């Protein structure tokens, strides 16, 4: 047993911990967990805890259904919203076969491989997320309604912003869990909020995003509200995005950092070119719902494959930042994605651009929301819908190099089922709400 595992066991013993949640996610980013008592934790570290993988969507069939979860001791965190006596802690887990081999369908394993490949090329990836969500009222039985928590707008204050106390509680809870919020505010839509947290390595950033979503939902429920991460819950209002801020360092040097009046370093341009080159093929992993595509092209959500400095109408923008804050921001993803899978795809796409030394296309310094139709017709665009995104991923040699064939097939099959169900429904909006509103 490692020193870190022994430290976890000691913490559990000394801090009145009675339940350990062993957390993992399915391939679609829906968090699952198995709770064990403290006496079972040594066994979890040594051999893992088995579960029925055939009951987890997209994993294994009934004929070969045993998988094991093994906790990562570096992810220990108390759940502050649970009782202070008889505490509950959470550990994220890796998913393995009974013989100890990593399960290739585990998105955590897929991201670990991408991080390792970056390291072999001499790069360390840092990611910071800006996550938007809606708060809705609940009825007398505690069930979510479609009534927004308030009628506030961008950066409003009380009384128009009724979410400030909930955001405050979320931020304090995240701090207790070792996650450092940088900013929070009311967003454009009624009842819409945003909380940004400090950048970290890719794996920690993905784990933190799952933690963030669980914390938001739990704190909202404690306040009689329902938190939704559905990309476009209100058809005529702003959609919820997950802006991914990404930087790479090599030998301690941030490759996105530039001196005044200098251009980007070649590696940074190659990385962005790789993301732009593969973005259509990987969009299904960044925007995995039929509802995701209703967000594109409105309320500052991008539609076209372009980049620029500061310009929020672009797919990729380079924010006005210096030093360690220098980075690229990808504005297309939404919070319904599996963060481990999404970050792995983005990192691999950028690394492929560096390997191939892809040239970066010229910046598009236009407001694309007001651009002439003739200009827009010449620009490549993100997929129009989930079906197109699935077909692009399924036929992509790049995606096939990142994902095992069975994992890719399972993922695409489920997504096409969602597309077919919503397309054939008499009321597509109602079908999407039924499928996604309480599941995301």
Whether residues 13 and 139 share a domain: the answer is no
- 246 lies in some domain: yes
For residue 323, the domain's CATH number is 3.30.590.10
Return the bridge partners of 67, or none. Answer: 51
Whether residues 66 and 125 share a domain: the answer is no
Section 396-408 average pLDDT: 96
Domain extent for 143:
114-437
- 109 lies in some domain: no
Is the pLDDT reported for residue 321 higher than 90? Answer: no
**Distance (Å, whole) CA 387 – CA 416:** 6
Whether the pTM exceeds 0.75: the reply is yes
- Looking at residue 62, what is its pLDDT? 56
- 108 lies in some domain: no
**Distance (Å, whole) CA 323 – CA 302:** 27
Radius of gyration for the alpha carbons in the chain, expressed in angstroms and rounded: 21
Last residue of a domain, one of 52, 71, 103: 103
CA–CA distances in Å: residue 279 to residues 17, 143, 366, 412: 44, 37, 21, 17
Section 263-291 average pLDDT: 95
Whether residues 276 and 370 share a domain: the answer is yes
Section 32-55 average pLDDT: 95
**Distance (Å, whole) CA 288 – CA 334:** 8
Structural domain count of the chain: 2
Is the pLDDT reported for residue 212 higher than 70? Answer: yes
The dihedral formed by the CA atoms of 385, 390, 391 and 397, expressed in degrees to the nearest 10: 130
Band (pLDDT 50/70/90 cuts) for residue 307 is very high
The pLDDT tens digits for 120-139 are 999 999 999 999 999 999 99
Whether residues 285 and 402 share a domain: the answer is yes
Whether residues 182 and 51 share a domain: the answer is no
Is the pLDDT reported for residue 260 higher than 60? Answer: no
Is the pLDDT reported for residue 185 higher than 90? Answer: yes
Whether residue 251 contacts residue 323, with contact meaning beta carbons closer than 8 Å, is answered with no
Q: What is the DSSP string of 127-160?
A: EEEEEEEEEEEE-TTS-EEEEES----TT--TTT
């Amino acid at each position: 047993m490692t020193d870190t595992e022994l430290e976890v066991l000691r913490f559990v013993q000394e801090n009145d911990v009675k339940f350990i949640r062993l957390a993992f996610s399915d391939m679609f980013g829906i968090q699952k967990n198995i709770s064990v008592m403290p006496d079972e934790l040594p066994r979890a570290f040594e051999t893992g805890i088995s579960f029925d993988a055939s009951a987890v969507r997209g994993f294994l069939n009934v004929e070969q259904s045993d998988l094991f979860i093994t906790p990562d001791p570096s992810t220990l965190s108390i759940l502050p919203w649970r009782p202070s006596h008889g505490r509950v802690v959470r550990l994220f887990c890796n998913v393995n076969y009974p013989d100890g081999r990593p399960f290739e369908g585990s998105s955590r394993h897929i991201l670990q491989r991408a991080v390792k490949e970056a390291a072999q090329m001499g790069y360390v990836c840092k990611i910071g997320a800006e996550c938007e969500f809606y708060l809705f009222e609940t009825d007398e039985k505690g069930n979510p309604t479609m009534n927004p928590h308030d009628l506030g707008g961008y950066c409003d204050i009380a009384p128009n912003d009724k979410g400030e106390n909930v955001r405050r509680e979320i931020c304090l809870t995240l701090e207790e869990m070792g996650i450092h919020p940088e900013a929070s505010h009311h967003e454009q839509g009624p009842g819409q909020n945003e909380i940004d947290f400090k950048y970290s390595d890719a794996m920690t950033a993905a784990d933190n995003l799952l933690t963030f979503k669980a914390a938001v939902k739990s704190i909202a429920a404690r306040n009689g509200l329902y938190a939704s991460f559905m990309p476009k819950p209100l058809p005529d209002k702003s959609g919820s995005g997950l802006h991914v801020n990404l930087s790479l360092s090599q030998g301690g040097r941030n490759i996105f950092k530039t001196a005044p009046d200098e251009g980007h370093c070649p590696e940074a341009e190659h990385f962005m070119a790789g993301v732009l080159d593969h973005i259509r093929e990987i969009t299904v992993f960044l925007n995995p719902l039929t509802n995701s595509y209703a967000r594109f092209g409105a309320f500052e959500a991008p539609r076209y494959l372009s980049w620029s400095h500061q310009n929020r109408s672009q797919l990729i923008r380079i924010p006005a930042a210096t030093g360690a804050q220098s980075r690229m921001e990808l504005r297309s993803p939404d919070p319904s994605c599996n963060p481990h899978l999404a970050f792995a795809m983005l990192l691999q796409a950028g690394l492929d651009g560096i390997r191939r030394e892809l040239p970066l296309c010229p910046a598009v310094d236009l407001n694309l929301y007001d651009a002439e139709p003739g200009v827009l017709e010449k620009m490549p665009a993100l997929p129009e819908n989930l079906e197109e995104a699935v077909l692009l991923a399924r036929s992509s040699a790049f995606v096939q190099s990142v994902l095992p064939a069975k994992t890719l097939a399972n993922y695409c099959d489920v997504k096409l089922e969602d597309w077919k169900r919503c397309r054939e429904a008499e009321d597509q909006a109602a079908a999407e709400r039924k499928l996604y509103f309480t599941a995301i």
